Amino acid sequence: MGRDILIGFVGKPSSGKSTMLNALTDATAKTGNFPFTTIEPNRAIGYAQVDCACSRFGLEGQCRPIYGGCKNGKRAIPIQLLDVAGLIPGAHTGKGLGNKFLDDLRHANALVHVVDVSGTTDAEGKACRGYDPSVDIEWLYNEMTAWIGTNLKEKWPNTRRRHIASKANPVHTLQNQFSGYGSNPATTAKVLDSLHLNTPLESWDEATLDRIVSRFVDIKFPTVIALNKIDHPDSDANISKIARREDANRLVLASAVSEVFLRRLAKQGFVNYEEGSEFVDTIDEFPDSGLKPLSESLRAKITDIQDMVLFRHGSTGVCNVLARAIELLELVPVYPVKNIHNFANNSNDGVFRDCVLVRQGTTAGQVAQIVLGGEAMSIIGINGNVGESDPIVAGKNDILSFRLRKDT
């Protein structure tokens, strides 16, 4: 499972955030028969799609995950989602649900910012026309940096004096300030290393603190920008503008309402539709499919979705949102198996029952600790023994069998 990974969803009112969360936590997803699970009022389990190891060996028909599901080599991995409420300008000053918004935010490993790219809602989510959605992207970033920066600067005189008196290293001093935002020493060290600061901490001025905070937000909260409502005719110009300014690796084009609509029709038996696909099968094209006949209004709606979304962009984009978050977090799926030769745990259970997401650079020994609690063991991959210090590489040593050492 996604285990300790938490993806926070943020977005102003009427951005389509709730619709996207509903699609990502859909209990009727065809990748498996698994229940919708609400952990807390604002937390739930969603399903991130990755290419499953079963497709490398032609075993798609035998893949039966314990959690999530797998269909045609696309595996749905359960992962925790957090609905972060209260996103309006001035959240860092306590406006709206600002305090709760920022408190929730600090728990997330990555964010998905759902942006109404149609420009038909203003900064507070009220209906309008011609609004510039790039402003929303900027002020989310500004809210986060203002929140962290204000807190850091308020405490900085005392922090600086304590640093000088204790002769601490900068990572330790800064980590004490960033720990409340879910940071760890490795993250703080990465922030400082990336900035190549030449001045000692006691000489850092406000501009330096601003640079540190900005870099900290970039590293601690990698953010997917989900440009939602691409089905709206006003979205094209806004997409082009945002694409010129933002990192393409962070952008996902999406129509959450189209995804929810198509899944509902599939559940009701009007269409055959596979999540992440551009194809929608109806009785018009497949008379012997057993599908229900379409009314003119349903047929027109499907045609609009095909023309505005599926044929232009290849899918509704919803399934790409969590996949992109996994990429930004540099997570690698690892498949623990009991039998390294047939990839099964027991003879009748199917293959690749388990899957764990780990960060890039995680070693085989660390995976063993995650899976079996750190007991002494040997580790075997499809090409033979794997060293405990060997980093996991997708497609090379990501299928592992753990066994007790013979000398224990």
> What is the pLDDT at residue 105?
81
| Cβ-contact 158, 166 below 8 angstroms | no
Helix (H/G/I), strand (E/B), else coil: 168: coil
| 352-380 pLDDT tens trace | 999 999 999 999 999 998 888 766 578 99
> What is the pLDDT at residue 374?
67
**Angular region, 202: left φ>0, alpha ψ -120 to 50, beta rest:** alpha
pTM (global) more than 0.75: yes
**Residue 163: its H or E element:** helix 134-166
- Of 378, 379, 365, residue with least CA distance to 406: 378
Sign of the dihedral defined by the CA atoms of residues 407, 363, 321, 2, in that order: positive
| 261-306 pLDDT tens trace | 999 999 999 999 988 899 999 999 999 999 999 999 999 999 999 9
Dihedral angle at the C-alpha atoms of 394, 397, 401, 405, nearest 10 degrees? -140
Which whole-number Å values give the CA distances from 179 to 166, 183, 283, in the listed order?
Answer: 19, 5, 57
d(CA 173, CA 150): 17
